[in-house]
Amino acid sequence: MILETVSENRAHRGTQGVYSHSSQATGTGMTFSVFVPPHNEGAIMPVLWYLSGLTCTHANVTEKGEYRAACAEHGVIFVAPDTSPRGEDVPDAADEYDFGKGAGFYVDATREPWSRHYRMRSYIESELPDLLAANFPVDMTRQAITGHSMGGHGALTIGLRNPGRFRSVSAFAPIVAPSEVPWGEKALGRYLGDNRARWREYDAVALIEDGARLPELLVDQGTADNFLEEQLQTHRLARACEMAGIGATIRMQEGYDHSYYFIASFMADHVRWHATRLKG
């Protein structure tokens, strides 16, 4: 796969880059960002994946996430993919912010017309890791994953489905049980069909109920988040983790909303938390 450099900028003594390539998984061009912290020649470093939320691209966290200082301090590569396939030939629901482009939900769609391009699960779990390993100084034995909202859903489900791949998993305001909330019911129903049993592999609470486990988990959730009660329902994850014996640190952050002001406020905490678990 040929990787094209869109931009590279010096930041915190490292390099913030944006790159594009032709994806076999999605059948489209894809763009992602990578921050490589300062390092000695020949060194390889752990990687923290960040999955973005509804309506976002790689650019939102790259421009607003405030992760670079912490990543430079702890020697962690930070990777931010896009949230869906892009392009004129990609089907969309232009008048619906929560479906189509910008709303891939990190699934491999099985229904037409979505199944041809909406294969974000394969892209994140298989194709992009191979591309990253071939082009950047990453230690793929030391991976961590986090994400926000829809991306928090992606981080949790990818972590739960791939035991042993990630040394640590965290999330910011994740959609924890998409099978039970409007955003998820809409997306999973239209991407995957009406058989709700097939949705369970894309639902963190359902995966835990079905036996998937993580050694521990960190979640930050703002109490002033206007999506908390209807769409996010953090209490479902807390209950599932308690029943399963998963050591979940779920922090309800007083007065914080769903925005990148919230994410930026706690991003360094998450980078440090992951860095501790990525050492060695």
The encoded tokens of residue 201 equal 């592999």
Contact at 8 Å (CB) between 160 and 212?
yes
Residue 134: CB atoms within 10 A of its CB come to: 10
2: Cβ–Cβ under 8 A, 6 or more apart, which residues? Answer: 21, 22
225 tagged catalytic: yes
Active-site residue, selected from the candidate residues 149, 153, 168, 170: 149
Which of 74, 117, 153, 258 is labelled catalytic? 258
Contact 240, 213 (CB under 8 A): no
Of 52, 225, 270, 274, catalytic: 225
How far apart, in Å, are the Cα atoms of 108 and each of 160, 244, 261? Answer: 16, 27, 31
Q: Is 259 marked active-site?
A: no
39 is catalytic: no
Q: How far is CA 267 from CA 39, 73, 81, 255, 260, in A?
A: 21, 13, 17, 17, 10
Which residue numbers are catalytic? 149, 225, 258
